[in-house]
Amino acid sequence: MTSFKINTESVDFDGDPGTPLLWVIRDHLNLTGTKYGCGIGQCGSCIVHVDGRAAVSCVMPVSGVDGRSITTIEGLAATQAEPHPVQQAWLELDVPQCGFCQPGQIMATVDFLKRHPRPTDEDIDKNITNLCRCGTYVRIRKAIHRAAELMAAGEGT
């Protein structure tokens, strides 16, 4: 049995401990905001936070989160009416085109901004390596800068 918290709720998973965390999140817990992209940990579509740090869930066995705390895109905002500053920036700048990769982009950015509160374009390019099928990288970069502004101003945090 693997026990962990997901979006502050305690969960017990009694399946194969080698099951990728992504499939436990999507198929067993019905939290479908986290997306499957490549299945080899390269694209970033499946990023969630494990104990507050970004992690690719498609290659992480559920046994690796025993006793830990997971946050998915569904648990990022305090309420739907109060989006996280990164989500707010994404909305303001109309970042998504198809939207498929955006949960992973947002989760990666939240973790990134904790470590780089005033990022340069170089910081963003070096650290945000998620793939976007639609190529909205220019809008993503602008939204990361906007989110940093919102966070520095204490909005939504």
CATH number, domain containing residue 100: 1.10.150.120
The secondary structure element, H or E, covering residue 145 is helix 137-152
Sort strands 2-6 and 69-71 into parallel, antiparallel or unpaired: parallel
Spatial separation of the C-alpha atoms in residues 62 and 120, rounded to whole Å: 35
Give the end of a domain, one of 75, 107, 125.
75
C-beta of residue 56 within 8 angstroms of C-beta of residue 47: yes
What is the chain's mean pLDDT, rounded? 95
The answer to whether residues 98 and 64 belong to one domain is no
The conformation of residue 64, written as its DSSP 8-state character, comes to G
Please check whether residue 57 lies inside any domain of the structure.
yes
Could you report the per-residue pLDDT of 79-138, keeping only the tens digit for each?
778 899 999 999 999 998 888 899 999 999 999 999 999 999 999 999 999 999 999 999
Is the model's pLDDT at 29 over the cut of 60? yes
CA distances 157 to 31, 78, 84, 88, 147, Å, are: 23, 9, 7, 11, 11
**For 97, what's the count of Cα atoms within 13 Å in the CB-facing half-sphere?**
9
pLDDT-based confidence at 78, cuts 50/70/90?
confident
**CATH at 24:** 3.10.20.30
CB 68 within 8 A of CB 57: no
Tens-digit pLDDT profile for residues 50-76: 999 999 999 999 999 999 999 999 999
In terms of residue numbers, what domain contains 138?
A: 85-152
Question: Are 70 and 91 members of one domain?
Answer: no
First to last CA, the chain: 34
Q: What was the pLDDT predicted at 156?
A: 58
What's the structural domain count of the chain? 2
Report the pLDDT value the prediction gives residue 97, as an integer from 0 to 100. Answer: 87
Considering the domain architecture, whether residues 70 and 130 belong to the same structural domain is answered as no
Same domain, 142 and 121: yes
Q: Does residue 91 share a domain with residue 40?
A: no
Q: Is residue 157 part of a domain?
A: no
Whether 124 is covered by a domain: the verdict is: yes
Domain's final residue, options 75, 94, 121: 75
In this structure, is residue 118 part of a structural domain? yes
- Helix 102-115 × helix 85-92 angle, to 10°: 120
For 5, phi then psi, to 5°, come to -105, 140
Q: Answer yes or no: do 58 and 118 share one domain.
A: no
What lies within 8 Å, CB to CB, of 78 at 6+ separation is: 84, 156
Shared-domain flag, residues 93 and 129:
yes
The answer to whether residue 157 scores a pLDDT higher than 60 is: no
